[in-house]
A and B are shown apart, each in its own frame.
Chain A
Amino acid sequence: MAKVRLATVWLSGCSGCHMSFLDQDEKLLELAGEIELVYSPIADVKNFPENVDITLVEGAVGNEEQLELLKRIRKNTKILVALGDCAVNGNVTALRNSLNNSVEEVLKKAYVENATLKQNTPTHVPRLLKKALALNEAVKVDFYVPGCPPSANLINYVLNELLEGRTPALEGRFKYG
């Protein structure tokens, strides 16, 4: 039987969700028999591939580059899973949305007011979106795994359910924050 093609993606998040993913420890080995990791920050693949079965996305959508990538992910993925609070609802990444929604204000706060060296805003990086978006504010999302980070057990549960072709039942299993 062909292995399930799995991708994991790291957008605007702290990588904590990926840490939690790795925390599945020995259960990862069990998964490894069934999946092929086709794209991930922990695998060296340049472009997001086609025909992906399941993609776990960590992080909110913070800039234009990420938005492009997410749209490509959506196009190439059967099941898109929002992994962790940032992906699910913006979380810490989206705290900046409270600052009058002005990108300039955000950059000034981060790179000028609170910086000690080199007080100027960066120019050679992708443009920030006006608002940091939860994944479902940009594309259709199939499943959600909240948590900051979601526990390794929860991630494992959801993956196993999906591999079995079942719908994960999240009631009572997750916790925001």
Chain B
Amino acid sequence: MSKTVELTIDGKKVAAKEGDNILKVARENNIYIPALCYLEGVSSLGGCRVCVVEIRGSPKVFASCVTPVAEGMEVITDSERLRRYRKWAIELLLAERPHVCSVCVANGNCELQQLATELGVDHLRVDRKWTNYELDLTHERFAYDPNRCILCTRCIRVCDEVEGVHAIDLMLRGKNSKVIFDLDDKWGFAESCTSCGKCSAVCPVGALYVKGKPLSEVKKKELVSFVMSRRSEKTIG
């Protein structure tokens, strides 16, 4: 039923399903675009803006994870400007809450940390904010540290769209936004949570994690694809 369109990404001709987003298509064709809030298998947010690309003929930049492909589109995934913007995005996320990698459970397995390395964000040009959110250790298996959360909403989307529970959502707005369980309950008391662990599996940083296990032992990438491959299952071990 769905049509096929042809476009070029960095000069390479590719065919894609109409309606698919640029990022997905690029990945299918082994073209790398840095991304952070995107998670294949759930809806796109378009929030982190790390995945920006240029499209020939337009002066604007586009978040590739929410921009559908179109016939004849010429996508450019790398330029001085794009690199500058991506750096800002990562830098601002690092500065938004205290990211102290050396004492973080995600150290070495964190997508934000990884992107900082890759994009050369070797320092911060803006003040860091030292938030002091309380750690939530009430769940018997999982922990939540809002001080590491980058508000990517992957957890919210996976809990809602894959687990079908919607135990997680956002509270407040702007810089005060916060991921919460049920009606801002402690995780251990959030009745709708089925303890499936999908949220902590997809959290790109050290905000949601399995207690007592450094993330270096949890092969995160594999876990994510495992979760996604079992979309219909209600619980996983």
Contact = CB atoms under 8 A, between A and B. Distances in A.
| A and B touch in their complex, CB below 8 angstroms | yes
Interface in B13-37: none
A100 interface: yes
Interface stretch (B47-55, B123-131, B194-202): B123-131
B122 A172 contact: no
Interface in A72-100: 82, 85, 88-92, 94-95, 97-100
A170 B147 CA distance: 27
Contacts of B214: none
B128 A169 contact: no
A176 B113 contact: yes
Nearest to B106: A177
Given A92-B102, A177-B107, A177-B113, A137 B132 contact: no
A32 B99 CA distance: 36
A99 B131 CA distance: 9
B132 A89 contact: no
Contact of B132 (A92, A98, A148, A171): A98
B185 interface: no
B106 to A, nearest CB: 9
Given A170-B122, A175-B113, 20 more contacts: A85-B102, A88-B123, A89-B123, A90-B128, A95-B98, A95-B100, A97-B130, A98-B147, A134-B124, A144-B123, A146-B123, A148-B102, A169-B120, A171-B118, A172-B120, A175-B108, A175-B117, A176-B99, A176-B113, A176-B117
Interface of A: 82, 85, 88-92, 94-95, 97-101, 131, 134, 136-137, 141, 144-146, 148, 169-177
30 contacts: A85-B100, A89-B124, A90-B100, A90-B128, A91-B100, A92-B102, A92-B103, A95-B98, A95-B100, A97-B128, A97-B130, A98-B98, A98-B131, A98-B132, A101-B130, A131-B130, A134-B123, A134-B128, A136-B123, A145-B122, A169-B120, A170-B122, A171-B119, A171-B120, A172-B118, A174-B122, A176-B101, A176-B113, A177-B101, A177-B113
Interface of B: 94, 98-104, 107-108, 113, 116-120, 122-125, 127-128, 130-132, 147
